Amino acid sequence: MLQEAIDPLDRARRLAKDFSERAHHFDASGEFPFENFTRLYEAGLLGLVTAPENGGHGGGLADAQAVISEIARGEPSTALVLAMHYNSHYTLRRFGKWPAHLAERVLLANRQGSALINAAQAEPRIGSPAHGALPETIAKREGDSWRISGRKTYVTGIPILKWVSLLALTDEAEPRLASFLVPTDSPGFAVEKTWNAAGMHATASDDIILEDVVIPLEDLIEAQPASEPIRREEHATAFFFSLIGAVYHGVALSARDSVLAFCARHAPASLGAPIATVPRIQDGLGEIEVRLATNARLLRSLGDDVDAGRPVGIDAMAVRHVVIDNAVAITSLALDLAGNPGLNRDFGLERHHRDAITGRSHAPQNHMVRAIAAKNALSRLEAGRS
């Protein structure tokens, strides 16, 4: 069934305004914003990147970036969970690697309600698969089933997820690195609340523990020999990194909105005019605008290239690096410009800064991105290319 045509950005803006009114509560309490996802479903936005023939809107990366940044402007934890959901649905639609029965299961549920999905890959001892170690989560084959045991960390949005796409190592004679579709209500599947980060508090990026979780043999999404480096499709990787950047760009936009309004109206008696008339304040506000413009251009350029099918190489990692660093700089500068009032928790600027800093935790971290960029440059030099 085809979805009605909508203006996704307009709907995202309307929702973000409403979400922003409760963002402080979710940050302070760590409660998960369930209602926000009901609203996203009702607005048709959970199916933004899903194919029209599967009840979605067929949006590309540029559309998804715009929606994610707007939602993040209102409540960034909601935006990050939504970004992970979009990433799974984009991969499912674009690359066709999922078995048909699993794809239909996930797509049907997405049409019927808030049936979200995210990957579960990081582990306590090995960290992210980006570090190169094999998972310690093991899938044992027994007859027509898999029995999976292990622990995963930082499973963003776990309170609302219907499934996780779980990375595990099979116990076969020739082990495979495999992804499995695991329902979160499976017997033996448990959540341990471990997420208590300074920022993005409401993402509930907790641990999951699997003890002999049984799933059908055919519920394996994809697999590769464990002896080979993990396979990453260029555009799928770019989509993921770009949406992560879009979340923190939205955080920076919200910080800009707040500090700009404050500087335009705050008029100390000693000055007799709003502080926005002070050259130093104008310089700071101008720097914020320059950094935001840079982020917007970088994200949109990457989105347009991916949507057009053009090669992007490792540019997505570099873009995410710059966008998040700019978001941190913007929120820090906003706090400086606002002075003591900016530190008031009711203002929101310190929350935006904590959220932006949290962006640096996403793998691969900045030092790894720079190391990859350096190795690529050296390889080009050795090959005689500029």
Instruction: Report pLDDT digits (tens) over 93-103.
Output: 987 789 999 99
Instruction: Report pLDDT digits (tens) over 130-180.
Output: 777 899 999 999 999 999 999 999 999 999 999 999 999 999 999 999 999
Reduced to 3 states (helix: H, G, I; strand: E, B; else coil), residue 347 is coil
CATH code of the domain containing 61: 1.10.540.10
145 Ramachandran zone, left/alpha/beta (phi>0; psi -120 to 50):
beta
CATH code of the domain containing 300: 1.20.140.10
Does residue 2 form part of some domain?
no
235 pLDDT more than 50: yes
- On whether both 152 and 14 belong to a single domain, the answer is no
**pTM, 2 dp:** 0.96
- On whether both 104 and 134 belong to a single domain, the answer is no
Distance from C-alpha of 195 to C-alpha of 221, rounded to nearest angstrom = 28
379 pLDDT more than 80: yes
Q: Tell me the CA distances in angstroms from 115 to 27, 40, 160, 370, one per residue in order.
A: 24, 11, 8, 36
Does residue 358 form part of some domain?
yes
- On whether both 110 and 130 belong to a single domain, the answer is no
- On whether both 153 and 102 belong to a single domain, the answer is no
CA neighbor of 116 nearest in space, from 76, 64, 165: 165
CA 25 to chain centre: 21
Beta strands in 16-155 (DSSP E): 116-120, 138-142, 145-155
CA neighbor of 72 nearest in space, from 85, 82, 59, 63: 82
Count of structural domains, the chain? 3
pLDDT in the model for residue 94: 85
CA 375 to chain centre: 26
Mean pLDDT of the chain: 95
pLDDT in the model for residue 86: 98
- On whether both 238 and 169 belong to a single domain, the answer is no
Assess contact for 138 and 149: CB atoms under 8 A. Answer: yes
Of the three residues 203, 225, 247, the one that is the final residue of a domain is: 225
Reduced to 3 states (helix: H, G, I; strand: E, B; else coil), residue 108 is helix
- On whether both 258 and 221 belong to a single domain, the answer is no
CATH code of the domain containing 127: 2.40.110.10
Distance from C-alpha of 55 to C-alpha of 142, rounded to nearest angstrom = 36
Paired tokens of 124? 């306590």
Band (385; pLDDT cuts 50, 70, 90): low
Does residue 3 form part of some domain?
no
Compute the average pLDDT of residues 116-136: 92
Does residue 25 form part of some domain?
yes
pLDDT in the model for residue 132: 77
Of the three residues 114, 145, 161, the one that is the final residue of a domain is: 114
Does residue 264 form part of some domain?
yes
Distance from C-alpha of 140 to C-alpha of 135, rounded to nearest angstrom = 14
- On whether both 55 and 136 belong to a single domain, the answer is no
- On whether both 34 and 15 belong to a single domain, the answer is yes
Helix 76-95 / helix 61-74 crossing angle, nearest 10 deg: 160
- Domain extent, residue 170, equals 120-225
CA neighbor of 262 nearest in space, from 248, 281, 279: 281
Compute the average pLDDT of residues 340-361: 94
- On whether both 40 and 12 belong to a single domain, the answer is yes
pLDDT in the model for residue 1: 46
- On whether both 256 and 376 belong to a single domain, the answer is yes
Strands 220-225 and 206-216: unpaired
Of the three residues 68, 95, 114, the one that is the final residue of a domain is: 114
- On whether both 61 and 78 belong to a single domain, the answer is yes
- On whether both 358 and 257 belong to a single domain, the answer is yes
